[in-house]
Amino acid sequence: MTVPMVLPGTSALALHIETPLCPSLPLSTLLGVPVYLKLEALQPSGSFKNRGIGALARELVDGGARCLVSSSGGNAGLAVAYAGRRLGVQVHVVLPTTTPAMMHDRLRAEGAVVSRHGADWNAADVLARSLAQAAGAAYLPPFDHPTLWRGHATMMHEAVRQGPKPGMVVLSVGGGGLLCGVIEGLRAIGWGDVPVLAVETEGAASLHAALTAGTLVSLPRIDTVAVTLGARQVAAQALALSQAHAVHSHVVTDAAAIQACARFLDDHRLLVEPACGAALAPLYARAPVLRDVASVLVIVCGGSGVTGALLQEWLRAHA
Ligand SMILES: *Cc1c(COP(=O)(O)O)cnc(C)c1O
């Protein structure tokens, strides 16, 4: 077994960093109003997941857990591995066989034990849950848990200190954990009247389907390059908050998400996943929903499932 590398004196340290709120000159010029970027791509594991997963991992370890189990081959798994290493507990991640080797290597580098099982996430998840139960270990869900939302909400507690109240917050939606956390945070800081633009790609629009139907919907399949947004059904809390808060659902194509990644790379020298490009796409497209909005705060959620070569490949495939 890999021995997690524990940094000295870690227990008192936060499991995420405070991220900059950065004005974007290119996007502000394009839209004609101030655009601010909350740079979650700078978190230690590459996405905002460090916030909620860090909070949940700490809660579980404080409650006696000595081993954390995750089934995400993506950013949630990386965040669990990071939290486990910092807290000095073992992490086991079960990946479907389809997860690229790159993620396998990144998880190993964080000290996680990695095993492969099943052709898709659901199969890996079934094994992860039963492994956790058999070993007396703690299972961490990727988006549907109140502690995750409380952890994600910290980004808004920072934003209120860092900049002005925005006219709209723009973010992407997978299972809706980020959405729940941001709305919880907006309410907590007295910005409960700020509308949220909730963006999904066409092949993963589970929130859009639920809002249209007025009830939770399980999509028959996921078909998008933004794999991180591929939850077939959103958390019940994400639908409930979307109905209670001023949430505008917005759907973009894979091509628009990928092209937004490329433009954002040129504009800000930051490489993000298509899951994050989805949130940037309506800004680059100057979507009508942003007209008459006085200023915009974009959650640049990041993501580690991208390389320069992959982005080039996606751009060619969606030209
Ligand atoms: C997890 C993730 C999302 C979606 O978050 P949910 O809480 O599942 O809605 C979006 N972008 C990135 C980069 C992510 O890691």
Tell whether the model's pLDDT for residue 1 goes beyond 70: no
Confidence at residue 5, expressed as pLDDT on a 0 to 100 scale:
54
Give nearest CA residue, ligand 1 atom 4: 174
Which atom of ligand 1 lies nearest, measured to the CA of 143?
A: 7
229, 232, 233, 280: residue to mutate for ligand 1 pocket, most atoms within 8 A of CB: 229
Confidence at residue 12, expressed as pLDDT on a 0 to 100 scale:
58
Contact of 261 with 276, CB cutoff 8 Å: yes
H/E stretch holding 121 = helix 121-135
Q: How far is the CA of 230 from the centre of ligand 1 (A)?
A: 9
- Give the HSE-up count for residue 118: Cα atoms under 13 Å, Cβ half-sphere: 15
Return mean pLDDT, the chain: 94
**Using one digit for the tens of pLDDT, what is the confidence trace for 190-242?**
999 999 999 999 999 999 999 999 999 999 998 999 989 988 999 999 999 99
Confidence at residue 9, expressed as pLDDT on a 0 to 100 scale:
44
- 298 pLDDT tier (thresholds 50, 70, 90): very high
Which atom of ligand 1 lies nearest, measured to the CA of 177?
A: 7
**Using one digit for the tens of pLDDT, what is the confidence trace for 41-92?**
999 999 999 999 999 999 999 999 999 999 987 899 999 999 999 999 999 9
Confidence at residue 86, expressed as pLDDT on a 0 to 100 scale:
96
Residues near 316 by Cβ (< 8 Å), separated by ≥ 6?
none
42, 49, 50: residue to mutate for ligand 1 pocket, most atoms within 8 A of CB: 49
Give nearest CA residue, ligand 1 atom 11: 275
Q: How far is the CA of 8 from the centre of ligand 1 (A)?
A: 30
253-276 average pLDDT score: 98
Task: Determine whether the shortest distance from the Cβ of 302 to ligand 1 is under 6 A.
Answer: yes
Contact of 167 with 194, CB cutoff 8 Å: yes
- 10 pLDDT tier (thresholds 50, 70, 90): very low
User: Model-level pTM?
Assistant: 0.95
